[in-house]
Structure 1
Amino acid sequence: MIGLQNAGKTSLLRVLAGQEFTVDSIPTVGFNMKRLQKGHVTLKCWDLGGQPRFRSMWERYCRNVNAIVYIVDAADKEAVPVAAEELHALLEKPALKGIPLLVLGNKSDLSGKLSVDELIDAMDLKAFKGRETSCYGISAKEETNLDAVLQWLINRKNK
């Protein structure tokens, strides 16, 4: 799970792991790893820091994974162009060719957030050729659409 700082990566991972949502999450320094057990499937999830100094590490952790989950704060319209730029730069790396991509517009519970279609356009997701790309609107806080996220991840693990 990657994305800019304050997009909600750690909060999402906590909620997916069955823990409480907390408003005052501490910024991730480096990375966290959690194993999520969903039925007979174990998902090993890396939550990488989103501050500029950690972004150079993203490629290393994204190699040889079943899927890249890129989380965007859909309510922070000023951050979206930077999020798009970082994602496009990352996916140009030859080592990440063909890895499925799931872009999650988090904070869908907030007013003024981008819709999924607006996020697809703003992130220029249609530019990614030769890789499966999906985009969902979610809310880690309200637990909106998280079942669909888990199902998507489980389906990629079983391919």
Structure 2
Amino acid sequence: MGVIISQIFSRFTYKTPVRILMVGLDAAGKTTLLYKLKLAEVVTTIPTIGFNVETVEYKNISFTVWDVGGQTIIRPLWRHYFVNTQGLIFVVDSNDPERMKEAADELHKMLEEDELRGVAVLVLANKQDLPRAMSVSDITEALSLSAVSQPWFVQASCAVSGAGLAEGLDWLSNQIQKQG
């Protein structure tokens, strides 16, 4: 009898484990976003050399989020994190239009990799609280997302306030559940 109750209880409390890769150019706000999701607070960060990994509980999903440094010298290592990735969060600095072409090139290069074929892509248009922040439609165009065949979504966000993070994770978790 105890086993049956335990099985029933686990159906309601079990969180599906999901592997998420979070990348983007340096200074886009990836680490700040990760710890806002994990701790619900803003932490002081330094440039990530290597990676940070945290488990973030969100609704019925347990996201293991790999935050990989975005410096030019580190980007060739991103591909080592692609295996078994079920969702991709690509973070852009909405306040830095001069680097959107570079961000687009890196994103499209990644999406050509076999390990990321069909993976849902959430673009977090971070730093929307800043005065020069590009709109979602401008970022969509700058990143040439119309050329991307897999599911994608651009969410305006702010790591400092947490604005847009729940909406972005809702979209990503729905896409991952559709993939089965």
TM-score, structure 1 as length reference: 0.93
Match of 2:14 in 1: none
Amino acid at match of 1:38: Y
Out of 62, 67, 70, the residue aligned to residue 82 of structure 2 is 62
Mapped to 2, the partners of 1:117 and 1:15 lie a distance apart of: 25
Among the aligned pairs, what percent are the same residue?
A: 36
Query: Runs of at least 4 residues of structure 1 off by over 6 A?
Result: none
Contact persistence 2:120–2:172 (CA under 8 A) = no
- Matching of residues 32-71 of structure 1 within 5 Å: 32-71=52-91
| Structure 2: segments with no counterpart, 5+ residues | 1-21
Mapped to 2, the partners of 1:63 and 1:106 lie a distance apart of: 26
* Structure exhibiting the larger radius of gyration computed from Cα positions: 2
Out of 133, 140, 147, the residue aligned to residue 166 of structure 2 is 147
CA, structure 1 residues 40+94, in 2 after alignment: closer, same or farther (shift >3 Å)?
closer
CA-based RMSD: 1.3
Give 1 or 2: higher helix fraction. 2
- Matching of residues 9-158 of structure 1 within 5 Å: 9-22=30-43, 24-129=44-149, 131-158=150-177
The Cα shift of 1:19 comes to: 4.0
Contact persistence 1:10–1:47 (CA under 8 A) = yes
Contact persistence 1:33–1:44 (CA under 8 A) = yes
| Structure 1: segments with no counterpart, 5+ residues | none
Q: How many residues are treated as equivalent by the alignment?
A: 157
TM-score, structure 2 as length reference: 0.82
Amino acid at match of 2:81: Y
